[in-house]
């Protein structure tokens, strides 16, 4: 069984640019959640997608947006990048009746 | 809104000894889920143990056990027979519903002394 995968592993962008991060959920999982983890902090919930619809959102501005596809993979898009967007972005998937979220290895985004 | 507090930024323990990591939380919910996640330098968040609030019995997973005190809103993790591979950041997390958003604490960095 393949776990949660994320791409790319690392990414460097310039302030003002746009970025797309990708996540493939674990087999049999239909829910994907995205988290932002700043250096030295715990992850912060960005939003969750369930059956291609947004199902809850944290305290992040609209320039953070997402998509979920019919195969339950997901994208996180961030527009107008700011220096403070530099962080590890974690994706997690869960089963329809699951309690546990399974995390991917993350994408390290650096904004210069 | 729920909050999770981990008051120990760093802890260290001798190999083979026992260590306890602390976590407190605040919520008005009566049913919820609590988790301890481990994040090694590889960055991948790994579930260590979970506790359903409606269960009075403390969860255990091999060398890992919790002390869940619902009235005190306390959820500590005990690691017995500490091993070098236990070295990592440990995060306490709260979820109001199964599979719903997780609220994390700020983490405790655990160092194992050989």
The per-residue pLDDT for range B55-68, each reduced to its tens digit, is 989 999 999 999 99
Q: What mean pLDDT comes out for the span A5-25?
A: 97
Residue numbers of B between 4 and 23 with CB closer than 8 Å to A: 4
pLDDT digits (tens, 9 = 90+) for A16-75: 999 999 999 998 899 999 999 999 999 999 999 998 999 999 999 999 999 999 999 999
Counting every residue written for chain A, the total comes to 112
Q: Number of A to B CB contacts under 8 A, please give it.
A: 61
Cβ-nearest to B101 among A40, A58, A97: A58
Q: Does B42 touch chain A (CB under 8 A)?
A: yes
Q: Which residues in chain B are closer than 8 Å to A41, comparing Cβ atoms? A: 106-107
Q: Which residues in chain A are closer than 8 Å to B37, comparing Cβ atoms? A: 103
pLDDT digits (tens, 9 = 90+) for B32-89: 999 999 999 888 899 999 999 999 899 999 999 999 999 999 999 999 999 999 999 9
Confidence class for position A1, pLDDT limits 50, 70, 90: low
**Cα-Cα-Cα-Cα dihedral sign, residues B36, B73, A40, B83:** negative
Closest CA to B35 of B13, B4, B1, B71: B4
């Amino acid at each position: 069984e393949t776990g949660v995968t994320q791409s790319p592993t690392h990414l460097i962008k310039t302030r003002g640019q746009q970025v797309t991060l990708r996540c493939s959920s674990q087999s049999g999982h239909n829910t994907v959640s995205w988290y932002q983890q700043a250096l030295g902090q715990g992850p912060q919930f960005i939003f969750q997608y369930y059956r291609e619809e947004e199902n809850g959102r944290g305290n992040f501005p609209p320039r953070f947006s997402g998509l979920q596809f019919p195969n339950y993979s997901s994208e996180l898009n961030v527009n107008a990048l700011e220096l403070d967007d530099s962080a590890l972005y974690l994706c997690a998937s869960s089963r329809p009746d699951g309690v546990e979220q399974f995390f991917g290895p993350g994408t390290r985004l650096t904004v210069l | 809104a729920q909050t999770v507090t981990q008051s120990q930024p760093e802890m260290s323990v001798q190999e083979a000894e026992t260590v306890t990591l602390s976590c407190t939380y605040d919520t008005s919910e009566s049913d919820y889920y609590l988790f301890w996640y481990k994040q090694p330098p590889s960055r991948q968040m790994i579930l260590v143990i979970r506790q359903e609030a409606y269960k009075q019995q403390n969860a255990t997973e091999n060398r890992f056990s919790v002390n869940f005190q619902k009235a005190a809103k306390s959820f500590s993790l005990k690691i017995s027979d500490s091993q070098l591979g236990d070295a990592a950041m440990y995060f306490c997390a709260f979820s109001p519903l199964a599979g719903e958003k997780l609220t994390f604490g700020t983490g405790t960095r655990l160092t194992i002394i050989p």
